[in-house]
């Protein structure tokens, strides 16, 4: 299903290169005259932050080496390659240059084209006098860069605007040669992706680059690196173990490489996530704005994207044919041998929008003026990590969260997320907006999952919620507020000393705190004292006794009750602000 969807995306996407071509970044263009002499080595990459960002262009792909070379040094590309192949520089440069010239002769040697002949003459001259390479690089001031790395080069004639590989005659000759050639061993069979019968099969899958944490040289989705994974009787016959036609293999790997390098991807924890649709839609590029971290120069970008989705859904825009457009969301993560599929969802745009908005509804809690209305997944994940660093996000958590979001409002969020939020609340003695959002969402989804009759938690304070743990969280917030108003200049409150114990073993803490609160109440004005006494009575009304221990679910209810009550204090009117004896109310 995944490979079929990627193959279909290739068929409808106009930006992808045709069969036999691949988009690769090129750093330099070697400009030649009609005699094969190098006129200049032109840098076409863009310098950015001290690095040279290569310019992507379609180049011929004659095999797997278009994405990754082997260690043989004999798998040169056609009319473009690394400097070690094009110029014969570095280790084994002579054999690589020879391979480059032989490849060009093999594919296009019979073509009567000035560009091909000039490149062949240039290679012949270098082979005859390899000592001329260093002065050549020094003349054009690129020697230092070529010593540091192995940049990718292509060719152009002084009389042309386009590269040699892009000349019309060269393109036509290459594509004709490509279509007439059989795969290695003449392997043919039935394609598992398209269903085509008796077609040339790809002996190996082209490598896939851009998966975060994967091998820099690229990885594979379909590969067999041990005999145990191969079908009976097909040892070391990769193309027959999972038969995919050459065209389909090229199509889905090209599509995936394009998506991983485009704006239709986000990084969610360790899961590289890409989005695409059966038919072109603006949401393909909007989804990264919804889930991803907004840029610093436009912090409201994701808020606008979510509002646009709300508007489209409520206005009925997604009720017709547009709503039936199927969206695909694919999460990939690397492992030792190949790329693993972390999750995959395929659903109509209408359902996708409803599930995403349900996620934001679950996350909605009362918050401060400067808190993000729709926090990004990155913010939600770092909120439960040590020191709020992305490096400390628990493994696999990001993929599990987005998988739950797309599975629908009745699918539970990962328990690891809920537990991590509670652990950070106890460790830092703080229940902030993001952690409260996570706890509320996890509690409500768990209620739906078990189809409990328990009332779901609201975004703001719910005085009718009779959960003992929720009430105890509210009580702790009230006691802290009393202490703050009684001692306005205090540096540390009961939260800094007792939150962890109060949220896990209430009976060991609250008897002491209730006794101490009497001394604090005596410092308040009479009106304020009466107000707090009434509030304490309202909070403690349904509480019969203090539990010895609270379960993890109840600890979440405690944290949410504490957060709701604290936020409710912040939203009170001026007439209910703190007042101590000797001060005006």
State whether 102 and 139 are in the same domain.
yes
Last residue of a domain, one of 224, 259, 294: 259
pLDDT over threshold 90, residue 539: yes
Interval 98-120 mean pLDDT: 95
Instruction: Give pLDDT, residue 229.
Output: 77
Q: Which of 127, 133, 125, 144 is nearest to 35 (CA)?
A: 125
Question: Is 583 part of any domain?
Answer: no
State whether 292 and 416 are in the same domain.
yes
**How far is residue 411's CA from residue 381's CA, in Å, rounded to a whole number?**
18
4, 44 contact by CB (below 8 A) = no
Q: Which of 277, 330, 253 is nearest to 19 (CA)?
A: 253
Percent of the chain whose predicted confidence (pLDDT) is above 90: 69
Confidence of residue 222 (pLDDT cuts 50, 70, 90): confident
State whether 164 and 218 are in the same domain.
no
State whether 176 and 190 are in the same domain.
no
Backbone angles phi, psi at 91, to 5 degrees: -70, 135
Query: Using alpha carbons only, what angle is made at residue 92 by residues 89 and 94, rounded to the nearest 5 degrees?
Result: 65
Give strand pairing partners of 266: 273
Candidate from 212-216, 344-348, 349-353, 505-509 with smallest mean pLDDT: 212-216
pLDDT, mean over the chain? 90
Backbone angles phi, psi at 66, to 5 degrees: -65, -25
Candidate from 45-54, 98-107, 383-392, 559-568 with smallest mean pLDDT: 45-54
Helix (H, G, I), strand (E, B) or coil at 88: coil
What one-character DSSP code corresponds to residue 580? B
Last residue of a domain, one of 204, 239, 259: 259
Question: Is 582 part of any domain?
Answer: no
Confidence of residue 537 (pLDDT cuts 50, 70, 90): very high
Interval 457-477 mean pLDDT: 96
Backbone angles phi, psi at 131, to 5 degrees: -70, -15
Question: Is 8 part of any domain?
Answer: no
**How far is residue 16's CA from residue 58's CA, in Å, rounded to a whole number?**
9
Query: Using alpha carbons only, what angle is made at residue 37 by residues 33 and 41, rounded to the nearest 5 degrees?
Result: 85
Backbone angles phi, psi at 401, to 5 degrees: -70, -50
- The DSSP string of 258-316 is HHHTSSSEEEETTEEEEEEESS--THHHHHHHHHSPPPTT-TTHHHHHHHHHHHHHHTT
Distances (CA, A) of 294 to 298, 302, 352: 6, 6, 21
- The DSSP string of 347-384 is EEHHHHHHHHHHHHHHH-----TTS-SS--HHHHHHTT
Q: Which domain holds residue 267?
A: 263-449
**How far is residue 390's CA from residue 27's CA, in Å, rounded to a whole number?**
32
Question: Is 93 part of any domain?
Answer: yes
- Tell me the H-state helices in 181-282: 238-241, 246-260
Instruction: Give pLDDT, residue 577.
Output: 45
- Tell me the H-state helices in 325-459: 349-363, 377-382, 397-407, 415-428, 433-449
pLDDT over threshold 60, residue 574: no
Question: What crossing angle do the helices spanning 526-540 and 468-486 adopt, rounded to 10°?
Answer: 170
Measured between its terminal Cα atoms, the distance across the chain in Å is 68
Question: Is 496 part of any domain?
Answer: yes
pLDDT over threshold 60, residue 576: no
pLDDT over threshold 50, residue 476: yes
64, 250 contact by CB (below 8 A) = no
Instruction: Give pLDDT, residue 419.
Output: 97
Last residue of a domain, one of 147, 180, 213: 180
State whether 302 and 417 are in the same domain.
yes
Return the H-helix or E-strand segment holding 326: strand 326-334
**How far is residue 232's CA from residue 266's CA, in Å, rounded to a whole number?**
39
Burial of 241 (0-12, 13-18, 19+ CB in 10 A): middle
Interval 578-585 mean pLDDT: 44
Q: Which of 273, 256, 553 is nearest to 406 (CA)?
A: 273
Question: Is 584 part of any domain?
Answer: no
Backbone angles phi, psi at 92, to 5 degrees: 55, 30
pLDDT tens, position by position, 161-181:
999 999 999 999 999 998 787
263, 238 contact by CB (below 8 A) = no
pLDDT over threshold 80, residue 183: no
Helix (H, G, I), strand (E, B) or coil at 340: strand
**How far is residue 50's CA from residue 35's CA, in Å, rounded to a whole number?**
36
State whether 434 and 289 are in the same domain.
yes
Cα-based torsion angle of the residue sequence 237, 242, 245, 250 in order, rounded to the nearest 10 degrees: -100
328, 344 contact by CB (below 8 A) = yes
State whether 391 and 305 are in the same domain.
yes
Task: Say how many domains are in the chain.
Answer: 4
β-pair type (80-82, 152-157): antiparallel
Helix (H, G, I), strand (E, B) or coil at 173: helix
Candidate from 58-67, 109-118, 536-545 with smallest mean pLDDT: 58-67
State whether 252 and 279 are in the same domain.
no
**How far is residue 214's CA from residue 271's CA, in Å, rounded to a whole number?**
11
Candidate from 329-343, 349-363, 454-468 with smallest mean pLDDT: 329-343
Question: Is 419 part of any domain?
Answer: yes
**How far is residue 542's CA from residue 402's CA, in Å, rounded to a whole number?**
38
Helix (H, G, I), strand (E, B) or coil at 582: coil
81, 153 contact by CB (below 8 A) = yes
pTM as predicted? 0.84
**How far is residue 276's CA from residue 10's CA, in Å, rounded to a whole number?**
11
Question: Is 2 part of any domain?
Answer: no
Confidence of residue 573 (pLDDT cuts 50, 70, 90): very low
**Residue 90 neighbours by CB distance under 10 Å:** 14
State whether 160 and 214 are in the same domain.
no
Interval 85-100 mean pLDDT: 93
State whether 157 and 54 are in the same domain.
yes
**How far is residue 327's CA from residue 346's CA, in Å, rounded to a whole number?**
6
Confidence of residue 242 (pLDDT cuts 50, 70, 90): confident
State whether 301 and 162 are in the same domain.
no
**Residue 221 neighbours by CB distance under 10 Å:** 19
CA 271 to chain CA centroid, nearest Å: 6
How many residues comprise the chain? 585
Instruction: Give pLDDT, residue 246.
Output: 86
Q: Which of 391, 369, 373, 372 is nearest to 382 (CA)?
A: 391
Greatest mean pLDDT among 187-191, 311-315, 565-569 lies in: 565-569
What one-character DSSP code corresponds to residue 509? T
500, 422 contact by CB (below 8 A) = no
**How far is residue 54's CA from residue 71's CA, in Å, rounded to a whole number?**
24
State whether 255 and 314 are in the same domain.
no
392, 338 contact by CB (below 8 A) = no
């Amino acid at each position: 299903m995944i490979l079929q969807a990627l193959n279909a995306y290739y068929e409808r996407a106009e930006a992808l290169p045709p069969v036999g071509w691949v988009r690769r970044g090129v750093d330099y263009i070697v400009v030649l005259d009609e005699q094969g002499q190098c006129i200049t080595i032109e840098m076409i990459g863009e310098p950015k932050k001290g690095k040279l960002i290569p310019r992507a262009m379609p180049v011929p792909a004659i095999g797997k080496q278009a994405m990754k070379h082997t260690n043989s040094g004999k798998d040169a590309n056609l009319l473009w390659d690394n400097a070690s192949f094009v110029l014969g520089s570095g280790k084994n440069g002579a054999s690589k240059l020879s391979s480059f010239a032989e490849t060009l002769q093999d594919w296009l040697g019979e073509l009567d084209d000035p560009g091909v002949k000039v490149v062949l003459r240039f290679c012949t001259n270098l082979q005859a006098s390899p000592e001329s390479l260093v002065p050549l690089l020094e003349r054009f001031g690129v020697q230092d860069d070529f010593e540091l790395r192995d940049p990718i080069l292509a060719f152009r004639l002084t009389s042309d605007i386009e590269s040699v590989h892009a000349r019309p005659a060269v393109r036509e000759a290459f594509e004709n040669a490509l279509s007439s050639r059989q795969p290695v061993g003449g392997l043919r069979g039935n394609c598992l992706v398209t269903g085509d019968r008796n077609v040339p099969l790809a002996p190996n899958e082209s490598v896939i680059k851009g998966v975060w944490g994967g091998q820099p040289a690229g990885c594979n989705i379909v590969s067999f690196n041990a005999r145990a994974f191969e079908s009976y009787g097909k040892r070391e016959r990769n193309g027959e173990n999972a038969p995919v036609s050459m065209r389909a293999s090229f199509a889905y790997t090209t599509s995936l490489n394009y998506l991983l390098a485009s704006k239709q991807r986000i990084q969610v924890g360790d899961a590289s996530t890409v989005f695409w649709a059966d038919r072109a839609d603006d949401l393909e590029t909007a989804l990264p704005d919804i889930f991803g971290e907004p840029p610093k120069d436009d912090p409201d970008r994701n808020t606008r994207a979510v509002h646009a989705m709300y508007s489209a859904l409520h206005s009925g825009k997604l009720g017709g044919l547009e709503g039936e457009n199927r969206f695909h969301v694919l999460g990939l993560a690397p492992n030792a041998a190949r790329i693993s599929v972390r999750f995959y969802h395929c659903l109509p745009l209408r359902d996708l929008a409803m599930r995403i908005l349900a996620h934001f509804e679950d996350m909605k809690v009362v918050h401060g003026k400067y808190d993000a209305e729709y926090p990004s997944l990155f913010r939600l994940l770092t909120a439960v990590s040590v020191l709020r660093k992305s490096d400390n996000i628990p493994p696999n958590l990001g993929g599990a969260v987005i998988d739950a979001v797309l599975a629908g409002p009745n699918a539970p969020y990962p328990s690891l997320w809920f537990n991590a939020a509670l652990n950070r609340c106890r460790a830092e003695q703080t229940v902030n907006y993001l952690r409260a959002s996570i706890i509320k969402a996890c509690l409500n989804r768990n209620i739906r999952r078990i189809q409990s009759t328990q009332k779901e938690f609201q975004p703001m304070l719910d005085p009718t919620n009779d959960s003992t743990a929720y009430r105890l969280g509210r009580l702790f917030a009230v006691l802290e507020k009393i202490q703050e108003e009684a001692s306005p200049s205090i540096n540390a409150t009961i939260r800094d000393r007792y939150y962890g114990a109060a949220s896990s073993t209430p009976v060991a803490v609250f008897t002491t705190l209730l006794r101490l609160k009497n001394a604090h109440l005596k410092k308040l004005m009479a009106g304020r004292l009466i107000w707090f006494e009434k509030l304490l009575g309202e909070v403690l009304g349904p509480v019969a006794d203090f539990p010895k221990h609270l379960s993890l679910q109840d600890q979440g209810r405690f944290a949410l009750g504490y957060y709701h009550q604290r936020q409710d204090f912040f939203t009170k009117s001026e007439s209910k602000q703190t007042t101590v004896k000797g001060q005006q109310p």
